[in-house]
A and B are shown apart, each in its own frame.
Chain A
Amino acid sequence: MKTARETSATGHHQAWAPILEVSLREVFEMMLSSELKDADRAQDGPMDMTSMVGLAGQLCGVLSIQCSQEAAKLMASKMLGIEPQQVGPELCDAFGEICNMVAGNFKNKISGLGNGCILSVPTVISGNDYSLHSSADSDTLEVRMAFEGNSIVTSLRVQA
């Protein structure tokens, strides 16, 4: 397996797609007791919740998860073991932690990144009337999955 530095240098980040998908699936299975399905089993809805975590060090970039507010509430409810309508201010905390765990799980699976890459605290944006401009836009890896019938998009923008 190529190290993070070698893959980053060659720009072949698409090879990381299966690792990103496994990282995502594990977080949902272990922390939400929910099995993610293929994206064609999801309904398109407004992607009005975004959670982001920055990566710095041997791999520089941004990992983000986008979904509808309804899906984010469902994630929080499953994490906390409560009904979706009971989810209140903890919504952003829960959605941010999911992104944080996916980013951490992903970097721990890439050879050389465990020690060589640090994560930022998560940032959560609600609403979809925004554009994201990152210096890490040179190469974007995207994984689309279905969570309880809702579409979720996980993106890794890497600074080459």
Chain B
Amino acid sequence: MNSIQALIVDDSAVMRKIVERAVRQAGIELSKVFEAGNGVEALAVLAENPVDLILCDINMPVMDGLEFVKQLSGVANAKQAAVVMITTEGSESHVVQAISLGAKGYIRKPFTPDQVREHIVPLLTVKA
């Protein structure tokens, strides 16, 4: 698997660091990591930078994760990105909604690096 560019979207700066660390511990090589605190900030990052992987929380201020994923269809720099939701909101309705909007996977907090590997690596392998 080649080195990839990732965007981590979470309103908690601590969670963004933890997600990045878990991804690296899962053996996924990250050449560049962008961070955003909500959907609006994430769209601004994507206006300038293409990414291969987007890891996104659902409950966030300003623009939540579901609305952000909905808006990704019109973003050229996200066309090749695998989108995975990482959230405490584990309700079935949120999962169904996120998948129907284009998310490829779903990880519940708390999580282990093994769970991150299980959910993300197959998506990146399929792309390669």
Q: List residues of chain A with CB under 8 Å of any chain B CB.
A: 26-27, 30-31, 76, 79-81, 90, 93-94, 96-97, 100-101, 103-105, 108, 114-115, 118-119, 121
> Which of B11, B12, B91, B110 interacts with A115 by CB under 8 Å?
B91
Roughly how many angstroms separate A77 CA and B12 CA in the complex, as a whole number?
A: 15
Q: List residues of chain B with CB under 8 Å of any chain A CB.
A: 11-15, 17-18, 21, 59, 61, 87-93, 108-112
Known pairs A105-B108, A105-B109; list 17 more (Cβ under 8 Å): A30-B110, A30-B111, A31-B109, A31-B111, A79-B18, A80-B17, A81-B21, A90-B13, A93-B12, A96-B12, A97-B12, A97-B14, A101-B88, A104-B88, A108-B91, A115-B92, A119-B59
Q: Which residues of A contact B61 (CB under 8 A)?
A: 121
Say how far B103's CB is from chain A's closest CB, in angstroms: 17
Q: Which residues of B contact A114 (CB under 8 A)?
A: 90-92
User: Which residue of A is nearest B89, CB measured?
Assistant: A104
The answer to whether A90 and B14 have CB atoms under 8 Å apart is yes
Q: Which residues of B contact A103 (CB under 8 A)?
A: 88
User: Which residue of A is nearest B10, CB measured?
Assistant: A97
The list of the 8 closest CB pairs from A to B, nearest first, reads: A104-B88, A30-B110, A108-B90, A115-B91, A93-B14, A94-B14, A114-B91, A27-B110
- Interface hub of B13, B110, B111 (most chain A Cβ within 10 A): B110
Say how far A100's CB is from chain B's closest CB, in angstroms: 6
The answer to whether B93 and A115 have CB atoms under 8 Å apart is yes
User: Which residue of B is nearest A33, CB measured?
Assistant: B112
Roughly how many angstroms separate A121 CA and B11 CA in the complex, as a whole number?
A: 10
Q: Which residues of A contact B21 (CB under 8 A)?
A: 81
Say how far B116's CB is from chain A's closest CB, in angstroms: 11
Roughly how many angstroms separate A96 CA and B110 CA in the complex, as a whole number?
A: 14
Say how far B59's CB is from chain A's closest CB, in angstroms: 7
Say how far A12's CB is from chain B's closest CB, in angstroms: 24
The answer to whether B90 and A104 have CB atoms under 8 Å apart is yes
Q: Which residues of B contact A90 (CB under 8 A)?
A: 13-14
Say how far A67's CB is from chain B's closest CB, in angstroms: 17
Q: Which residues of A contact B90 (CB under 8 A)?
A: 104, 108, 114
User: Which residue of B is nearest A105, CB measured?
Assistant: B110
Say how far A106's CB is from chain B's closest CB, in angstroms: 10
- Interface hub of B15, B88, B89, B93 (most chain A Cβ within 10 A): B88
The answer to whether A80 and B18 have CB atoms under 8 Å apart is yes
User: Which residue of A is nearest B110, CB measured?
Assistant: A30
Say how far B16's CB is from chain A's closest CB, in angstroms: 10
Roughly how many angstroms separate A50 CA and B15 CA in the complex, as a whole number?
A: 19
